[in-house]
Amino acid sequence: MSGAASGILQACMDCLPAGGAALHEPTFGGREREYLRECIDTGWVSSLGAFVNRFERDLERLTGAAHAIAVVNGTAALHLCVELAGVETGDEVLLPTLTFVATANAVSYCNAVPHFVDCDATTLGVDAVKLEQYLEHSADLRRDGCYNRATGRRIRALIVMHTFGNPAELDALVTLCRRFNLTLIEDAAEALGATYRGRPVGNHGLLSALSFNGNKIVTTGGGGALLTNDLALARRARHLSTTARLNTASGFEHDEVGYNYRLPNLNAALGCAQLEQFSDLLERKRALAERYRAAFVIVKEASFFSPVAHAGSNHWLNTCLLAQDDAGHRDEILKALNRHGIQARPAWTLMHHLPMYCDCPRMDLAVAESLERRIVNLPSSAHLMPAGGLQPERHLV
């Protein structure tokens, strides 16, 4: 076994239970069963019900966003974000190549073209400085927006993604969007509870998307939410996600092509129970990250990823970054970990390497390409740490 594989394996074994751990499992430690039973007993299982409203108000309190609209999954939330941002057929939308495929798909659903941008290694998010330099020489600012000089298409929006729960450099990205007349959308699917300069993410652009898939920091089984501070956009999001139905006697009047995207009450019930435990989940995940950080200090072939000081991670998915010289050992490392029951995985295949997106416009993507070779995600479930805070001896280190 290479030094990299044995060092990383040892560090993980020091942090995890004997026998290993899954990459990310949900933690059901609260009133989940009680709330689900309530849905069944009252018959309110579908897309109307008290838990949907309560879940939305809970999300507004947690994120500081004025409006949360709960939908069937994070992808649907992203789709609505892109449509509501005014993205039209033939527009381009900037987004990181290092992301889950849903970010790019949401753009395609609007008949728009993803335009891939690079990341920086300190945040794993969009590199604002590199993107600004790129736009300076490849985009034209006209009266009605920003245009790609090479394709002639309008560049309408930028989607930033908070990778593994680590906030992107939002101040610089907000400034860049103002300068180039781009609408900022946050794909905060992985980042509920993460903060940027003390303020929750999902609250910095015009629109944001959250996900509550089974592997996310809290789950509704499947689910998502759109966040915005704009009342008119919130109303439109609600309208579009309920088949654009008008409030008439028949209930069968619709004024545009809408979607059946509302979150069922059954799923929202699970979400309400999960959010009651949210601060405890965050604390346990933070403690697990601390444990990894301490164990990786002596591993010279890899570093445990830590965000910059003003970016508060929710520690959704713990990440180690292989040293440049050890990138070639990635697959061997993954195999060694998995053989010991430690479910580890590489980063997503970059968007510009996927067949449906390989011809899309893009800037130089060297950092994302390097990160793709060097990222190893490690088991991160909250239940790997005890409930109710840290063990005292861990608190001291």
Ligand X SMILES: *Cc1c(COP(=O)(O)O)cnc(C)c1O
By CB under 6 A, the count of residues binding ligand X is 15
Rounded to the nearest whole angstrom, what is the least distance from the CB of residue 73 to ligand X in the complex? 4
Q: Does 75 bind ligand X (CB under 6 A)?
A: yes
Determine the Cα–Cα distance for residues 55 and 262; give it in Å rounded to an integer: 12
Q: Does 74 bind ligand X (CB under 6 A)?
A: yes
Q: Does 100 bind ligand X (CB under 6 A)?
A: yes
4/347 with CB nearer ligand X: 347
Exactly one of 161, 168, 272, 322 binds ligand X (CB under 6 A); that residue is: 161
Q: Does 103 bind ligand X (CB under 6 A)?
A: yes
Segment (H or E) for 9: helix 3-15
Q: Does 213 bind ligand X (CB under 6 A)?
A: yes
Q: Which of 222, 226, 312, 320 is nearest to 268 (CA)?
A: 222
100/296 with CB nearer ligand X: 100
Q: Which of 123, 124, 85 is nearest to 106 (CA)?
A: 85
Give Cα 371 distance to the centre of its chain. Answer: 17
Q: Does 55 bind ligand X (CB under 6 A)?
A: no
Which one of the spans 19-27, 52-60, 67-75, 135-143 is the region binding ligand X (CB under 6 A)?
67-75
24/154 with CB nearer ligand X: 24
80/289 with CB nearer ligand X: 80
For 367-383, b where at least 16 C-beta lie within 10 A, e where not — what string? bbbbbbebbbbbbbbbb
Determine the Cα–Cα distance for residues 104 and 109; give it in Å rounded to an integer: 9
Determine the Cα–Cα distance for residues 200 and 198; give it in Å rounded to an integer: 7
Q: Residues near 242 by Cβ (< 8 Å), separated by ≥ 6?
A: 47, 258, 260, 261, 262
Contact between 322 and 374 under an 8 Å Cβ cutoff? The reply is: yes
58/187 with CB nearer ligand X: 187
Q: Residues near 298 by Cβ (< 8 Å), separated by ≥ 6?
A: 7, 11
Exactly one of 102, 135, 168, 217 binds ligand X (CB under 6 A); that residue is: 102
Determine the Cα–Cα distance for residues 19 and 231; give it in Å rounded to an integer: 50
Which one of the spans 100-108, 121-129, 165-173, 321-329 is the region binding ligand X (CB under 6 A)?
100-108
Site for ligand X in 169-198 (CB under 6 A): 187, 189-190
Instruction: Copy the structure tokens of residue 153.
Output: 């298409």
Which one of the spans 68-76, 145-153, 329-337, 379-387 is the region binding ligand X (CB under 6 A)?
68-76
Q: Which of 73, 68, 43, 36 is nearest to 55 (CA)?
A: 68
Rounded to the nearest whole angstrom, what is the least distance from the CB of residue 190 to ligand X in the complex? 5
Determine the Cα–Cα distance for residues 158 and 168; give it in Å rounded to an integer: 13
Location of structure tokens 């508060």 = 312
Q: Does 224 bind ligand X (CB under 6 A)?
A: yes
Exactly one of 27, 47, 63, 99 binds ligand X (CB under 6 A); that residue is: 99
Instruction: Copy the structure tokens of residue 276.
Output: 């009651």
Rounded to the nearest whole angstrom, what is the least distance from the CB of residue 18 to ligand X in the complex? 30
139/161 with CB nearer ligand X: 161
Residue number with the smallest Cβ distance to ligand X: 74
Radius of gyration of the chain (CA): 21
Q: Does 211 bind ligand X (CB under 6 A)?
A: yes
Residue 323 CA: distances (Å) to CA of 12, 124, 385: 17, 15, 28
Rounded to the nearest whole angstrom, what is the least distance from the CB of residue 14 to ligand X in the complex? 28
Rounded to the nearest whole angstrom, what is the least distance from the CB of residue 223 to ligand X in the complex? 7
103/228 with CB nearer ligand X: 103
User: Rule CB under 6 A: which residues touch ligand X?
Assistant: 73-75, 78, 99-100, 102-103, 161, 187, 189-190, 211, 213, 224
